[in-house]
Every structure is written in C-alpha cells, then in structure tokens.
Amino acid sequence: MGREKVITTVPAEEVQKQDAALRPKLLKEVIGQRKVGERLEVAVAGCKKLKEPLGHILFDGPPGLGKTTFATVLPNELGTSIQMTSGPALSKPADMLPFLTNLEEGSILFIDEIHRMPRIVEEFIYPAMEDFRIDIVLGDGMSARTISMALKRFTLIGATTRSGMLSSPMRDRFKIHEHLEFYSVEELARIVTINAAKLSTPMTPGAALELAQRSRGTPRVANSRLYWARSYAAARHDGSINEAVARAALDMAEVDRDGLDRNDRKYLETLIDLYGGGPTGVEALAATMNLAADTLSDEIEPYLLREQYISRDRRGRVAMPKGFAILGKTAPKPKPEEKPQPGLFE
C-alpha cells in the first residue's frame, strides 16, 4: 500500500502567535526597509522632543512586507500602548467608539486593511484625526442633538494593500505615508537566520539562502518556509536544517527554485493554456481558478509582475516570455502590425 498524503492545518490564532513571536521589538531590529525605518526614527525622536503625538501614518504595499511589524514596533519606541482592529470589523461608527474612548495620551490605534473601512466610518473619524474629538448624534429628527466629545491625543496607523481605494480626504489626513518594497535575498536570509535562532533551530548559511531564494521577496513567506523546513527537519532528520534539508522540504511543499508555488503555476497555466497567454481580465482568471479576484491581485500577481512573468495593462493580464519559459513553453511570436489600407485620397 502506498503512503497516504496527510495534510495538516494550523489554526489562524496559532499563526498569529508565531508571527508575533518572531517580530522585532524596536526599529533598530527591523531588517530591510531601512529608508522607511530611518524616517520613522526621525519622526519618533522629533515627537519626543516636541512632546507631541506622532503624526498619523499610512503604510501601503503588498501583503507580508512589514506593515503590521512597523505598527507594533512604534509603541515600544514611544513607550505607549496600542489598540488593533481592521477595516472589515468596523461596519458602523459605533464600532469605533470603544477604541477611541479608551485611547491613552500618545497611544496608537492601528487599523489593518483600512481601505475596507466603510465611508460612513471613515467620515466619522475625520474630526478625531484632525482635532482629537468626535461628534455623537443623539435622538432623531427635530429632537436630534450633537455632542462633541474630546479625545486623548493619539496616533492612527493605517495599513493597506490598496491605497488607491482610500478616498483623497482620508489619505490627506495621514502626515506620513510610507510604501514598503520587496526584500532582497540577502535581507531575507538574515531574517531567516535570526528567526531560526529564536526558534532554537540550528541552520546553516546555505540553508538560510535556499529558503530566502524561494520566499518571493516577502518576510512573511520566508517565515512560513522556515516553519515548514523546521517541521520537516524534525520529522525526517535530526532537527537541524542544512541546504539539502531545506531544498528537500521546499520541494515537498511544491515550491520551486524561483519561489513559485502551486497557485502561481496554476495562474500561469490558466493564463497560457486556456487564454492563449492573454490579454484576459482578472475576474475571468479568478472564476476559472475558483479563487477570489482579490487573492489573485493582492497575493499572486505582485510577485509575478515584479519578476516579469506577466504584465498588466488596460486590456488585462498578459503572459510574458519568462512566464512561458518557466512552464517549458515557447512564447508565440508577436503578430506583425497590420498596415492601414490606402485611403481614397492617398
């Protein structure tokens, strides 16, 4: 009898605990995004000397690049507290009241996926961001009255993968706007090495480099690769991770040397085999793959675009020669442009 393939899942709460355990505590411990870190260090030092709250901050960029990490590091730098929520959890203004009224002087309110916050909630917090107050309407109709409630001075930090979906008035209220970029292989190798030490897992430099090369320029992905390699090393070897163990673990997880996983290859196969390489819309691709369009545009496409496996324009998604090559296919030659027919008066 063949060995059955067993798939195990880790609860979301456990994944969050693992991520939190590996996150740096101070700005100087953050690897990568150095220019962003330096600007935040200046902003923190300035607000301390001026005895003012840190200006509101908006972090944007693809998932897993450190937006939440920066948000959780800043309270440690400022010696203050943080409250955390997300845009989808705030369906009405009343949902914001517990967070705003419990704020301490100089504390931080972090809203993840802030672009998914309803417009009515967004407009409710405008005065909170500008004047540190909120307006509460009591009653209905002719008997309605508005009460203005003062708040402690605080810092709002928003994180988004789609800053373009934020309204212009909302974006303008953030005094600091930072875009996070993908990480280099060397930076990811350093992150993996440090986190392996935190997990008491022996790892060779070659193994760290192997994991980094297959992590799509993203620390969150690198940490996931590390946890998988750690489990694989414990189950199949002596618990330490060398280059051969790392390679075998990732091969078993169907992550290739270019960092592409099953969904990436399925995306390219769908685009090339079913749609002839495009152009085609993301909605059509998502329906064919049975995935949400947001998953494709937020999680799969950024890396494929960055590495030039695909391109994107107003007509849709188009497979590039590199996308054909990774699947062992030959890109079709571009069709020659048709010359216009001579006009009547030419």
DSSP string for 128-155: HHHHSEEEEEESSGGG-EEEEEE----E
Looking at 2.40.50.100, 3.30.390.30, 1.10.3720.10, 3.40.50.300, the CATH number of the domain 12-179 comes to 3.40.50.300
Average pLDDT, the chain: 84
Domain with CATH 1.10.8.60 in the chain: 185-252
Q: Which amino acid is at 150?
A: A
Pairing of strands 145-150, 133-138: antiparallel
pLDDT in tens, 182-239: 899 999 999 999 999 999 989 999 999 999 999 988 999 999 999 999 999 999 888 8
- R_g (Cα) of the chain, nearest Å: 24
CATH 1.10.760.10 fits 262-326, yes or no: no
pLDDT in tens, 115-130: 999 999 998 899 989 8
pTM above 0.85, yes or no: no
Tokens representing 115 are 């672009």
| Exposed / middle / buried, residue 293 (Cβ in 10 Å: 0-12, 13-18, 19+) | middle
Checking if the pLDDT of 336 tops 60, the result is no
- CA–CA gap between residue 27 and residue 40 (Å, rounded): 8
Q: How does DSSP classify residue 112? A: E
Task: Label each residue of 150-201 as H, E or C.
Answer: ECCCCEEEEEECCHHHCCHHHHHCCCEEEECCCCCHHHHHHHHHHHHHHCCC
Domain with CATH 1.10.10.10 in the chain: 262-326
Checking if the pLDDT of 166 tops 70, the result is yes
Checking if the pLDDT of 338 tops 70, the result is no
pLDDT tier for residue 17 given thresholds of 50, 70 and 90: low
- The torsion angle over the Cα atoms of residues 317, 271, 211 and 112, rounded to 10 degrees, is 50
**Residue 147: strand pairing partners:** 136
Pairing of strands 145-150, 155-160: unpaired
CATH number given to 185-252:
1.10.8.60
Q: Within a 10 A sphere around the Cβ of 186, how many other Cβ atoms?
A: 13
Q: Which residues are catalytic?
A: 67-68, 112, 161, 220
State residue 194's pLDDT score: 92
